[in-house]
A and B are shown apart, each in its own frame.
Chain A
Amino acid sequence: MSAAIVTEGLSKSYRIGELQGAYGTLRDSLSGAAHRLVRRDRRQHFEEIWALRGVSFEVAEGAVLGVIGRNGAGKSTLLKILTRITTPTEGRAEIRGRVGSLLEVGTGFHPELTGRENVFLNGSVLGMKQREIVRKFPEIVEFAGVERFIDTPVKRYSSGMSVRLAFAVAAHLEPEILLVDEVLAVGDAEFQRRCLGRMEDLGRSGRTILFVSHQLQAVAQLCDRVLWLDNGEIVGDGPSTGVVAAYLQAGHGTGSSKEWSDVAAAPGNEVVRLRSVKVVQGGVEAAAVDVRLPVGIEIGFRVLESGTQLFPKIKVVDQRGTVAFNAMDTSDRWAVPAGPGEYVSTAWIPGNLLNEGFTSVQVAVCSLSAPKLKHHVSVNDAVAFHVQDPGEGASARGAFTGQWQGVVRPLLEWTTEER
């Protein structure tokens, strides 16, 4: 089996300031050019940012490759190079087969032209031959369901109609290689479903697919193999479950434990300083936790000065950045000011409360100075963990194996009476 995509040391650098190029003035640029002429030195004056650096990989024909990474990790730059929208600074890539991407849906649509005219224009823009468009025209129109309005200017279409027509053209491009950037996906839910549906069709038909996504669950399920980019470099490449797990462990730079050995440098003030934070389940540190079991957030801190009525607090945030809840220890334990010394408090998040996915925890030690809460120390994203449902039942999802929306997914008690 031959490779559909081969890249060798693909790199792309941007000069700082170039991204704001449109706002630069001609004068700046002229004086810059004069400087360069005088010094005969072109490179030194620009600080370069590598959006992509030394990326080498191979995608076999018919494989489905996922690409994950934080925002700005270089995922979109990679796609832009592979679609030839921009050129690499170094390295090379070989692509065998026609490339299609769902980024280009509707590109080149002109509102003044009729539906028919736009199909031909858009088809040409996407790289279809005239004959090919003529051949597929009836199918495209049928797919879009705009037969009656095909000779009406597109500006008179409802937005739904024009999106359908645009998508119909893109869907009939029949690329051998499909690049999908979920981050850039546009349109309403219906449209996105269509895109995914089309992707599935293509996947079944042996197309090579490069799938860029933030939905790790989708990536893990869709892809055979996953490429993990960070700072423009490949930091993980392998079977999807392993790479996704490693990515989650790295968890946006947040692990499942953190320690500050030097008290003087630890976060805090003259009253209290943090020593350690750890995620525990079943007595051991855990990066991935079972949704059904309680999760402990173990907070170690040192009180340096007595006289303040302190108590520990956590804030739990889900993967979208939504605050799930705040919780603090309101027990009598902290009713009197704690004396100097080392303390370790553990907050127990009950099982079957959090939803699946990445969860990050802000840790704080506070005192109450009514009506405000005074944070003596507070660390965002102190620890993070991944909640998983092994799908063995006894969770809120029961035997259902699909996605369950919501920040929390409590296991409720239900009562039913027969009347």
Chain B
Amino acid sequence: MSTRSADALHRFLHQGLGSGVARELLGSPRSSGLASIDRVIQSDVETHDGAAVVEPVPQAEPIERFVVIRPAPRWPHLDLRELWQYRELLWRLAWRDVAVRYKQTSIGVLWAILQPFLTMVVFTLVFGRFANFPSNDVPYPVFVFSALLPWTYFATSVALSGTSLVSNRALVTKVYFPRVLLPLAGVIVPIVDFMLALIVLLGMMVWFDVWPSLAIVLSPLFLFMAFVCALGVALFLSAVNVRYRDVPYAIPFLMQIWLYVSGVVYAISSLPEKWQWVLALNPMTAVISGFQWGFLGTAAPDLGKTLVSVAATGVFFVVGLWYFRRSEPRFADAI
């Protein structure tokens, strides 16, 4: 920094702003905040004078010291190292959504329990009582509630995450960070709701005398499948949403249809074999039957069909991520 420009800056502020303002800005006793900034800066100046630039205070390594900006690659990939560097922001974004989610509602987090619970009551009456849908010999309320848990997680995730870019427009147009963080935070947030509703499920299991099997240790894996699948769908939808605002209208409709082909209100195993294979393309069928296998002790899902679902999950994720990364360079311009 040449002293010339420093002086010029000083002069400009004094002249341009009028001396009263400048005095206030440049260190009258009243502006203690600025004085403290001066202190901070002073400590930095010394480091700039030396040959090597050293951080004045030992601290965590800065996010970026040296950055090369170049055109977006033709074949997008996910920079995992960068994502790891930004992990704190991911938690912050997720935490924000959790903190804000039920603000200024009268019953607060009870909504997380009430939503699946009331849906369960309605489904039990309509499908369990009147329509007499098959439920793998488990009391229908427990059957449907145990399916509604991963399903609600999935549907909420897609809805929240699929619109995450547009609802965080201010961030996207003003600050750089890996954009993937936004949909990623969107599929993390509903885990909190899921955990709360899980307590209700455990209570219902006691009430209806239904006991879990050993396979319960595998249920986190099935939930992870729901997580990856929701993320894949949401990556795709959120990128589409940047250009077409139809997405928020399409999501509820999509989820409504998806619910009926996921085995939430009926047991997939009671369908003809041929259809079971077709529905295996929907990862949520494997998620739900795997979850019920663990928690309700129902029959183990067929390995072949589960593998089909796993493969489908992979396809959903890869396609979603690929489309997202491909559209990413134009997000800030098009949003």
A contact residues vs B (CB 8 Å cutoff): 14, 18-19, 21-22, 24-26, 29, 61-64, 80-99, 103-104, 107-108, 110, 112-113, 117, 120-121, 124-127, 129-132, 135, 139, 142-145, 168, 171-172, 174, 193-194, 196-207, 218, 221-224, 401-403
A26 with B5: in contact, given A18-B330, A81-B69, A112-B100 (CB under 8 Å)?
A: no
Q: Which of B9, B176, B334 contacts A204 (CB 8 A)?
A: B9
A196, B21: Cα distance in complex, Å? 11
Are B1 and A193 in contact, with the CB atoms below 8 A? Answer: no
Can you identify 17 A-B contacts, CB atoms within 8 angstroms?
A26-B246, A29-B244, A80-B332, A87-B70, A94-B66, A94-B67, A98-B62, A107-B171, A112-B104, A113-B100, A125-B89, A129-B62, A139-B37, A203-B6, A221-B8, A221-B11, A222-B12
Are A171 and B37 in contact, with the CB atoms below 8 A? Answer: yes
A193 with B25: in contact, given A85-B332, A127-B63, A204-B9 (CB under 8 Å)?
A: yes
Are B44 and A174 in contact, with the CB atoms below 8 A? Answer: yes
Closest to A225 in B: B5
Q: Which of B26-34, B148-156, B224-232 contacts A (4 or more CB under 8 A)?
A: B26-34
A21, B240: Cα distance in complex, Å? 11
A193, B23: Cα distance in complex, Å? 12
B16 interfacial by beta-carbon distance below 8 Å: yes
B137 interfacial by beta-carbon distance below 8 Å: no
B99 interfacial by beta-carbon distance below 8 Å: yes
Are B16 and A197 in contact, with the CB atoms below 8 A? Answer: no
Are B34 and A21 in contact, with the CB atoms below 8 A? Answer: no
Are B333 and A18 in contact, with the CB atoms below 8 A? Answer: yes
Closest CB-CB distance, B175 to chain A, in whole Å? Answer: 5
A402 with B89: in contact, given A84-B69, A224-B5 (CB under 8 Å)?
A: no
Closest to A77 in B: B333
B41 interfacial by beta-carbon distance below 8 Å: yes
A84, B172: Cα distance in complex, Å? 11
With a CB–CB cut-off of 8 A, which chain A residues contact B33? Answer: 139, 142-145, 168
With a CB–CB cut-off of 8 A, which chain B residues contact A126? Answer: 175
Closest CB-CB distance, B57 to chain A, in whole Å? Answer: 7
Closest CB-CB distance, A28 to chain B, in whole Å? Answer: 10
A21, A110, A196, A204 interface centre (most CB from chain B within 10 Å) = A204
Are A204 and B10 in contact, with the CB atoms below 8 A? Answer: yes
Closest to B16 in A: A403
With a CB–CB cut-off of 8 A, which chain A residues contact B174? Answer: 85, 103-104, 107
Are B37 and A143 in contact, with the CB atoms below 8 A? Answer: yes
Are B36 and A113 in contact, with the CB atoms below 8 A? Answer: no
With a CB–CB cut-off of 8 A, which chain A residues contact B63? Answer: 98, 127, 129
Are A206 and B96 in contact, with the CB atoms below 8 A? Answer: no
A218, B13: Cα distance in complex, Å? 9
A124, B177: Cα distance in complex, Å? 10
A124, B89: Cα distance in complex, Å? 5
Are B92 and A121 in contact, with the CB atoms below 8 A? Answer: yes
With a CB–CB cut-off of 8 A, which chain B residues contact A135? Answer: 57, 59
With a CB–CB cut-off of 8 A, which chain A residues contact B32? Answer: 142
With a CB–CB cut-off of 8 A, which chain B residues contact A29? Answer: 243-244
Are A131 and B59 in contact, with the CB atoms below 8 A? Answer: yes
Are B36 and A142 in contact, with the CB atoms below 8 A? Answer: yes
* 10 closest A-B pairs by CB: A143-B33, A197-B25, A62-B1, A84-B176, A402-B15, A205-B41, A124-B92, A93-B69, A21-B334, A87-B329
With a CB–CB cut-off of 8 A, which chain A residues contact B36? Answer: 139, 142-143
Chain B stretch 51-84: residues in CB contact (< 8 A) with chain A: 57, 59-60, 62-72
Closest to A105 in B: B174
Closest to B166 in A: A22
With a CB–CB cut-off of 8 A, which chain A residues contact B175? Answer: 83, 85, 104, 107-108, 125-127
Given A25-B244, A99-B67, A113-B99, 19 other A-B residues pairs in contact with their CB atoms under 8 A: A62-B2, A64-B5, A85-B174, A86-B333, A87-B329, A93-B70, A107-B170, A112-B99, A113-B96, A113-B100, A125-B177, A127-B89, A127-B175, A200-B9, A201-B37, A201-B38, A204-B1, A224-B2, A403-B15
B17 interfacial by beta-carbon distance below 8 Å: yes
A364, B25: Cα distance in complex, Å? 48
Closest CB-CB distance, B247 to chain A, in whole Å? Answer: 10
With a CB–CB cut-off of 8 A, which chain A residues contact B9? Answer: 64, 199-200, 203-204, 221-222
A171, A205, A218, A402 interface centre (most CB from chain B within 10 Å) = A205
Closest CB-CB distance, B209 to chain A, in whole Å? Answer: 43
With a CB–CB cut-off of 8 A, which chain B residues contact A127? Answer: 62-64, 89, 175, 177
